[in-house]
Amino acid sequence: MPDYNKIIAFFDEYIAHYREFLQFEYSKLDMINRDDIEKLSSSLSNEQALIMKTNSLESKRIKLLEGTNGKSFAEIAENAPGEFGRRLSEQHEELSALIFKIKEINDTANIIVSERLKKIQRKTAELDVYDGKGTVKHEHASKAAISKNV
């Protein structure tokens, strides 16, 4: 029989970590929206620390749940007696919501960054090229890069 008190205590820690990670993700999205590249760049070490802690907690989670015959967190909560089941179900719901929100914010950030990169590529794709007579020609960057007239 699993030690439900240990499982609950672990998931309290796990959820607290994901709350912290979610706050970081909101902050990162704000930096992206404000084009605050310097602050975003300096936050990378914080992100790495959060990722490393996530990996560590995930290893602990796997070890803690080894004796549950491969049951998912939801199944453990479902099969837990009385108050343990209720508490584990609440934790499962909260953890699922946190992870969903983190994924949603990451997807939004990726879309924003991708669109900005496309915009930059479009802007840099055209160059003004001057021919030997002083006439301006608009060419695609790849054409201009191999042209003798550049």
pLDDT > 90 in the chain, percent: 69
- Distant-in-sequence contacts of 138-146, Cβ < 8 A, 24+ apart: none
Taking the CA atoms of residue 53, residue 54, residue 59 and residue 63 in that order, the dihedral angle to the nearest 10 degrees is 100
Convert the pLDDT of each residue in 1-43 to its tens digit: 789 999 999 999 999 999 999 999 999 999 999 999 999 999 9
- Calpha distance 2→85 (Å, rounded): 12
The CATH number that domain 4-125 falls under is 1.20.58.300
- Calpha distance 109→102 (Å, rounded): 11
Tokens representing 114 are 């991708």
Convert the pLDDT of each residue in 118-135 to its tens digit: 888 877 766 566 666 767
Q: Is the pTM of this model over 0.85?
A: no
Confidence of residue 137 (pLDDT cuts 50, 70, 90): low
Confidence of residue 149 (pLDDT cuts 50, 70, 90): very low
C-alpha radius of gyration, the chain, whole number:
25
Higher pLDDT, 141 or 7: 7
Q: Spell out the SS3 assignment of 74-95.
A: HHHHHHCCHHHHHHHHHHHHHH
Measured from the Cβ of residue 77, the count of other Cβ atoms closer than 10 Å reads: 23
**CA distances (Å), 136 to each of 13, 125, 126, 139, 145, in order?**
64, 16, 12, 10, 16
pLDDT at 141 over 70: no
**CA distances (Å), 2 to each of 5, 79, 89, 102, in order?**
9, 10, 15, 29
Q: Where are the domains of the chain?
A: 4-125
